[in-house]
Amino acid sequence: MIVFLLVFFSALMLVVSAFFIYRNAEQATEQSLKMQAIGITITLNSVLQNSDIKELKRQGSTIFSEILIDERWEGVAFISLYSSEGKVVFHSNPALIGQKFQEVIPLFKEKTPYYHYLTLSTGEKVFVTDTKINLDEIQYLLRVALHTYPVQSLVRHAKIHMLFLAFSAVFIILAGFFTIKLLSKIEKMQNRMKELENLSMLSRVLAHEIRNPLGSIKGFAQYLMKKISEPPLKEYLDIIVKESLRLERLTDDLSQYANPQSINLQRVNLMELIHETVLPFSIEHKEIFFELQVEEVSIKTDRDKIIQILNNILQNSVSALSEVEEKRISIKSRKINGRIKIEISDTGIGMDEEILKKAKEPFFTTKPKGTGLGLAIVGRLCEILKINLEIKSKKGQGTTVCLTLLESL
Amino acid sequence: MPDTVRIIIVEDDSSFASFLKTILEEEGYAVMVFNDPEVALKNIKDFSPHLVITDLKMPKMDGIKFIERAREVVEAEFIVITAFGTIPSAVEAIKKGALDYITKPLSSLEEFLEKIKKILKKNITVQTLICLPMKYFLQELKMFMKWLKKLQRLTQL
Ligand SMILES: Nc1ncnc2c1ncn2[C@@H]1O[C@H](COP(=O)(O)OP(=O)(O)OP(=O)(O)O)[C@@H](O)[C@H]1O
Ligand SMILES: [Mg+2]
């Protein structure tokens, strides 16, 4: 987050500095226009002071146009001299001499030099400096109009520069934003991995530590079971043994979840394997109708892990069927596009969305004596064997678990 | 006590050790428990067991090392105790000379006792068929040598 703020802040600084560069450029250009105008005004003034104005007027002088050509001032649009009635006395464009400009009259009241912009009939905007001068005790207005485009191009440059800076600022902000999002995603993943590692370490240690005392509890209980035949006592011992077995199963599940053994690849006849796995279930649960539609395929995979996966899924299906009328489990397997799809569906109680979402989480269970590791182990083993696992379920209708296997790992 | 079968249990978890001792003594074996593998190593020769059951994970010395060192001192069969039946250390223990492994908790008492019986039968038959006659033979040989020496001395005189 701090990184993000830093990036954002520096980008903002870029924008601000860009703005100031622009502002500076604008001010600097106006300043330079003023300097130029004042320079020209002073020169013209001294020329006019040193010549006989009446004489020049009489000649209908083109002095201004001559000066303009002579001096080679760059960027001058025009120069002119107005009388206090607004009449043009001299003009760099001789055609305008003698014409009257009403709008000049009020300028005599302004403090000079008076700077302003004017738009010419050609549409060009020029920078104008009006200065009152006295020639033979009569007040005149000397006007110097400068083209703005040479300096305007400077401003344009600054504008482009600013735009460029602003764009890069936006780019930096966006890039920073996405980088931070990516980083946080990576961090999340790393945390998740750490969590899993910790969980697996904890599970491993727990599994071992539980098995130690369990060894004597279960052992002695079994020993006493053989010695004692008094009905209630034997019953209690039986409970001790059963509960010990449950704990033992938990430790098995835990260690399976925490550190599955390495992969042991084998050619497996899938049909046989499914039949073998289902057999003990069908013997134990005569009330359930097992329906098998299994294609004969041979795959290369880890036999024990596949059996474990199927066992856990079937175990869930069997317990989901305990309280429903129609008890049916169907197992189908088919080859589709070089992949093998195994579908295990039951007509059991099913799951609502909430349960379905959490079903694969370790330790999530809705059963009083469940460990909640059944599907978590399935998930883990599927990951290892690159099996795509999909669970579909509707409350009150049943559950379908889809496994999509590669033909060969 | 030449006819009773002697078993040593090396296990730091004293409850489990006492459980094993209880069921094995009931079967008529002479059982001695050591909670410390180092102490066990010091005393193992005097007891000269037929079978040693040792835990794999012990604080001072692991079971595999214990087997290695005990085998230098005694002729006995070794069984290791593991928490899970499939862990690689059991395999390693078997490579190092352990005959078999048992899991903790035991899956069933009967199975365990059966396993012990089978192992000991093998061991004892080996002993009775080969080692014991050899022992007698060696004893006889010694006696014969002694007698020979005596005879030599006599003849020299
Ligand atoms: N076929 C199914 N039908 C209905 N609910 C199911 C089914 N399979 C899983 N569930 C739900 O998902 C939960 C988690 O299943 P999982 O196998 O992970 O643990 P468990 O069965 O509760 O415990 P364990 O498998 O350790 O005995 C179950 O408690 C159950 O609510
Ligand atoms: Mg389950």
Q: Is A367 touching ligand 1 by the criterion CB < 6 Å?
A: yes
Tell me the CATH number at A139: 3.30.450.20
Residue A340 lies in a domain: yes
Q: Which amino acid is at A224?
A: L
Task: With a cut of 70, say whether residue B87 has pLDDT above it.
Answer: no
**A63 close to A52: Cβ distance less than 8 angstroms:** no
Assess: ipTM above 0.90: no
Helix, strand, coil distribution of chain B in percent, nearest 5: 60, 15, 25
Quote the crossing angle between the two packed helices A149-227 and B109-126, to the nearest 10°: 70
The C-alpha angle with vertex A278 and arms to A274 and A279, in degrees rounded to 5, equals 115
CB atoms within 10 A of CB A102: 8
The residue ranking higher by pLDDT, B90 or A215, is A215
Contact across the interface for A215 and B23, Cβ inside 8 Å? no
Atom of ligand 1 nearest to the CA of A369: 27
Q: Does A227 touch chain B (CB under 8 A)?
A: no
CB atoms within 10 A of CB B37: 24
Calculate mean pLDDT across residues B7-29. 93
- Copy the structure tokens of residue A94: 């001789």
Q: Which amino acid is at A382?
A: C
Residue A323 lies in a domain: yes
pLDDT attached to residue B1? 45
**A337 close to A404: Cβ distance less than 8 angstroms:** no
Contact across the interface for B83 and A207, Cβ inside 8 Å? yes
Q: Does B35 touch chain A (CB under 8 A)?
A: no
Say what percent of chain B tops pLDDT 90. Answer: 38
Q: Does B110 touch chain A (CB under 8 A)?
A: no
Q: Which amino acid is at A54?
A: K
Q: Is A400 touching ligand 1 by the criterion CB < 6 Å?
A: no
Calculate mean pLDDT across residues B148-156. 77
Q: Which amino acid is at B93?
A: A
Rg (CA), chain A: 48
Q: Does A178 touch chain B (CB under 8 A)?
A: no
Which residue from A216, A248, A252 is facing B19, i.e. has the nearest CB? A216
pLDDT attached to residue A16? 82
Q: What is the whole-number distance in angstroms between the Cα of residue A272 and the centre of ligand 2?
A: 23
Q: How far apart are the first and last CA of chain A?
A: 43
**In chain A, how many domains are there?**
2
Q: Residue B70 and residue B76: Cα distance in Å, rounded?
A: 9
Chain A CB contacts of B22 under 8 Å are 220, 223
Structural domain range at position B131: 6-156
Each residue's pLDDT tens digit, A130-145:
999 888 888 899 999 9
Q: How far does the CA of residue A261 sit from the closest CA of chain B (Å)?
A: 9
Q: Residue B14 and residue B36: Cα distance in Å, rounded?
A: 10
Among A87, A119, A154, identify where a domain stops: A154
Contact across the interface for A212 and B18, Cβ inside 8 Å? no
The C-alpha angle with vertex B66 and arms to B63 and B70, in degrees rounded to 5, equals 140
**A193 close to A56: Cβ distance less than 8 angstroms:** no
Judge if the upstream peptide bond of residue B105 is cis by omega within 30 degrees of 0.
Answer: yes
β pairing state of A388-394 and A398-406: antiparallel
pLDDT attached to residue A34? 87
Pocket test for ligand 1, best of A256, A308, A367 (most atoms within 8 A of CB): A367
**In chain B, how many domains are there?**
1
Nearest-CA neighbor of A313 among A251, A244, A250, A393? A393
Contact across the interface for B13 and A216, Cβ inside 8 Å? yes
Q: How far does the CA of residue A219 sit from the closest CA of chain B (Å)?
A: 7
Which residue from A211, A222, A223 is facing B104, i.e. has the nearest CB? A211
Quote the crossing angle between the two packed helices A2-49 and A63-71, to the nearest 10°: 130
Structural domain range at position A286: 263-406
The residue assigned the tokens 């250009």 is A29
Residue A253 lies in a domain: no
Tell me the CATH number at B52: 3.40.50.2300
Contact across the interface for B83 and A216, Cβ inside 8 Å? no
Task: With a cut of 50, say whether residue B23 has pLDDT above it.
Answer: yes
A318, B79, B87 from B67: Cα distances, Å: 46, 9, 18
Each residue's pLDDT tens digit, B38-71:
999 999 989 889 999 999 888 888 888 899 999 8
Contact across the interface for B86 and A214, Cβ inside 8 Å? no
Which residue from A208, A214, A261 is facing B105, i.e. has the nearest CB? A214
Among A154, A172, A201, identify where a domain stops: A154
φ, ψ of residue A128 to 5 degrees: the values are -115, 135
pLDDT attached to residue A382? 94
Give the containing element (helix H, strand E) for A142: strand A138-147
Q: Based on the domain organization, do A267 and A150 belong to the same domain?
A: no
Q: Which amino acid is at A75?
A: G
Residue A9 lies in a domain: yes
Residue A378 lies in a domain: yes
Ligand nearest to C-alpha A395: 1
Q: Digits of tens for pLDDT over chain A (409 positions)?
A: 677 777 778 778 877 877 787 778 777 778 888 888 888 888 888 888 888 877 877 777 777 887 777 777 778 888 999 988 888 888 888 888 888 888 888 888 888 788 888 888 888 888 999 999 888 888 899 999 988 887 777 778 878 888 888 888 888 888 888 988 999 999 999 988 888 788 778 888 888 888 889 999 999 999 999 899 888 888 899 999 999 999 998 888 888 888 777 788 989 999 999 999 999 999 999 999 999 999 889 999 999 899 999 999 999 999 999 999 999 999 999 998 889 999 999 999 999 999 999 999 988 999 988 889 999 999 999 998 999 999 999 999 999 999 999 988 7
Among A97, A126, A154, identify where a domain stops: A154
Instruction: Please provide the DSSP assignment of A294-356 as one string.
Output: E---EEEEEHHHHHHHHHHHHHHHHHHTTT-SS-EEEEEEEEETTEEEEEEEE-S----HHHH
Residue B1 lies in a domain: no
Q: How far does the CA of residue B105 sit from the closest CA of chain A (Å)?
A: 4
Q: Does B83 touch chain A (CB under 8 A)?
A: yes
